[in-house]
A and B are shown apart, each in its own frame.
Chain A
């Protein structure tokens, strides 16, 4: 903002997350004020999804016409085949991300409970750390599911590849996810994904199963369906493997470039 004031140059603000994603309704008003001032001062705001744009417009009262959406992309990479794979002796359903309110870990565990009533041999992996990790471990214990829900803590990228290699389903039940790149990585690794409708990534991905984050019955049902009907799993794997290759950073960069050109040319 200071740079804009001094130089008189155009300010573009990129928004990848807001205080509402992190805090839900319990926002920190200081952070909110800083975010709002930044967006107010901007000539153009670039949001990472329509979900984020809607928050910017409705919660921060930013003029709709200056907020554009540019979705994230994913880097194409080959997931290396693993020779030493841990085996848990049953299908694996995976949660991978920070274990915080925003990511909806509790819905994953509640859905796991429902799935285990139908398929007692399924295992659930919760990979990642965060402030809710202890609470989630307790919650799983309370439901007597500890032998089927495995907490790994934070994983480095080699370990993440291992997790992809053993996963039959990836679940991202985020409560409010500005974008969410992990599902694209799962898709690239050939893992069928279930994502919440409250995520930016659901705006650009067609070949995934989408549920409301709070609807644990629908989430559990989708997990069971994926574990039951091979043709469902195979079709999603095939289609989503192709789809994620089309969601590139190149595409995002081109769009941002266009916006920058528009702004500098109109001066």
Chain B
């Protein structure tokens, strides 16, 4: 049989998240009111360059090679504005290699909040501003204006869906959380509960986490994971389930999982298998919504996300400290905006990056270990104290009208130290 019908084909929607927060420097209680810099861009530079060397550059190069071999490959990226800005300053070669990927026509880019923030929970106005900023940044760098949305860490609810629809997006990513799918398969296209034309892609989190987390776990029953084994799992899905969404941190390749553990070989093998298979076709989200219709509507009154076992907001707002920090950010909105001071507003937005709240989590167990892995602090208490001291400084500035004479909200030019990369 040479001719294949649509039902024979299973579509694969693969998206990688690229993000680096702008980490804070040490800020003690006694620094409040002293006009010290908030951000440790020396550390941010070191980390960005390390991840560029170990992950972004080699992974992009591998994808470029594969795409030149198989032009039918489709990969989607979401790169936070905070990461893009740091790449421009600290690792411009990464921007260049993403440009090359964009030029192949095989790669698409998603929109998100520029600051990788929880602005969706702050105010619709602030959310809209950050999304627009991100769209423009992606267009400026890659010449592609993103029209598909993914929210920070796939945070989604009916209400967030409405905000996103109001910004004229026609699709969004969400995590395939069991409680929301309520027994239905994540392998279809769904629509917002209002039937407002917002299509939803549900990530298969088990299959995604097999690569993102379990790949290197030697005590996992499926270790070692090979591309063939993985594709066999896809093969065994019911035939009518025709859209599989896989997504994970791009840093999975070479940063979270190391080259010597074979993660690049896996990626190469997996994508090559898909590209040469008659059963699978890789698609961008925009292609997918042209190819299929939603099978049902879904509702999620409470926000869901791809973080932690709870798949809710508890990774960022799970304890009193996190909620206090977020409320403090929120309360500052009107005051900060009123100053009309660009640097001050930018600093406040950099502080909204969800990672700052993520570091304050007091969860134990496996989730706690993941929080610790990402955190530059020794404990959630240090993360909170440091953040709140900065916030206190910022609100003092807002209150006293002591604006940005010395605040460095945007990256200054840093001297390049030869030994870093």
Interface-side segment among B49-57, B174-182, B284-292, B384-392: B384-392
Assuming the contacts A209-B381, A221-B29, A232-B385, asked whether A239 and B362 have C-beta atoms less than 8 A apart, the reply is: yes
User: Is B195 an interface residue, CB under 8 A from the partner?
Assistant: no
Instruction: List residues of A (206-249) whose CB comes within 8 Å of B's CBs.
Output: 206-210, 217-218, 220-222, 224-225, 228-232, 234-236, 238-239
Taking the closest CB of chain A, its distance from the CB of B383, in whole angstroms, is: 11
Task: Please name the residue on chain A nearest to B384 by beta carbon.
Answer: A232
Interface-side segment among B122-130, B316-324, B407-415: B316-324
Which of A114, A208, A225 meets B385, CB within 8 Å? A225
Residues in A whose Cβ lies below 8 Å from that of B379: 206, 209-210
Task: Please name the residue on chain B nearest to A215 by beta carbon.
Answer: B28
Which of B28, B324, B362, B382 meets A229, CB within 8 Å? B324
Which of B30, B320, B378, B389 meets A231, CB within 8 Å? B320
Top 8 nearest A-B pairs (CB, nearest first) are A231-B324, A221-B28, A224-B29, A231-B320, A221-B29, A225-B385, A231-B321, A235-B321
Assuming the contacts A206-B379, A209-B382, A210-B379, asked whether A235 and B320 have C-beta atoms less than 8 A apart, the reply is: yes
| 28 sampled A-B residue pairs with Cβ under 8 A | A114-B30, A118-B29, A206-B379, A209-B381, A209-B385, A217-B28, A220-B29, A221-B28, A221-B29, A221-B30, A224-B29, A225-B388, A225-B389, A228-B29, A228-B388, A229-B385, A229-B388, A231-B319, A231-B320, A231-B321, A231-B384, A232-B381, A232-B384, A234-B320, A235-B320, A235-B362, A236-B381, A239-B362
Residues in A whose Cβ lies below 8 Å from that of B392: 228
**How many residues of chain B are within 8 Å of chain A by beta carbon?**
20
Task: Please name the residue on chain A nearest to B372 by beta carbon.
Answer: A206
Taking the closest CB of chain B, its distance from the CB of A17, in whole angstroms, is: 26
Instruction: List residues of B (338-367) whose CB comes within 8 Å of A's CBs.
Output: 362
Task: Please name the residue on chain A nearest to B382 by beta carbon.
Answer: A209
Binary CB contact string for chain A from 149 to 170 against chain B (1 if under 8 A, 0 otherwise): 0000000000000000000000
* Residues of chain B having any CB pair with chain A under 8 Å: 28-30, 319-321, 323-325, 362, 378-382, 384-385, 388-389, 392
Distance in angstroms between the alpha carbons of A236 and B319 in the assembled complex: 10
Distance in angstroms between the alpha carbons of A234 and B385 in the assembled complex: 13
Residues in B whose Cβ lies below 8 Å from that of A238: 320
* Residues of chain A having any CB pair with chain B under 8 Å: 114, 118, 206-210, 217-218, 220-222, 224-225, 228-232, 234-236, 238-239
Task: Please name the residue on chain A nearest to B389 by beta carbon.
Answer: A225
Distance in angstroms between the alpha carbons of A235 and B382 in the assembled complex: 13
Taking the closest CB of chain A, its distance from the CB of B381, in whole angstroms, is: 5
Residues in B whose Cβ lies below 8 Å from that of A220: 29-30
Assuming the contacts A225-B388, A225-B389, asked whether A231 and B28 have C-beta atoms less than 8 A apart, the reply is: no
Residues in B whose Cβ lies below 8 Å from that of A222: 29, 385
Taking the closest CB of chain A, its distance from the CB of B26, in whole angstroms, is: 9
Task: Please name the residue on chain A nearest to B26 by beta carbon.
Answer: A218
Distance in angstroms between the alpha carbons of A265 and B385 in the assembled complex: 51
Task: Please name the residue on chain A nearest to B391 by beta carbon.
Answer: A229
* Given A209-B381, A224-B29, A232-B384, 7 additional A-B pairs, CB 8 A: A114-B30, A207-B362, A209-B379, A210-B379, A222-B385, A225-B29, A236-B381
Residues in A whose Cβ lies below 8 Å from that of B384: 229, 231-232, 235
Task: Please name the residue on chain A nearest to B319 by beta carbon.
Answer: A235
Distance in angstroms between the alpha carbons of A222 and B388 in the assembled complex: 12
Task: Please name the residue on chain B nearest to A234 by beta carbon.
Answer: B320
Distance in angstroms between the alpha carbons of A220 and B28 in the assembled complex: 9
Residues in B whose Cβ lies below 8 Å from that of A221: 28-30, 385, 389
CB of A231 within 8 A of CB of B323, answer yes
Residues in B whose Cβ lies below 8 Å from that of A234: 320
Taking the closest CB of chain A, its distance from the CB of B41, in whole angstroms, is: 22
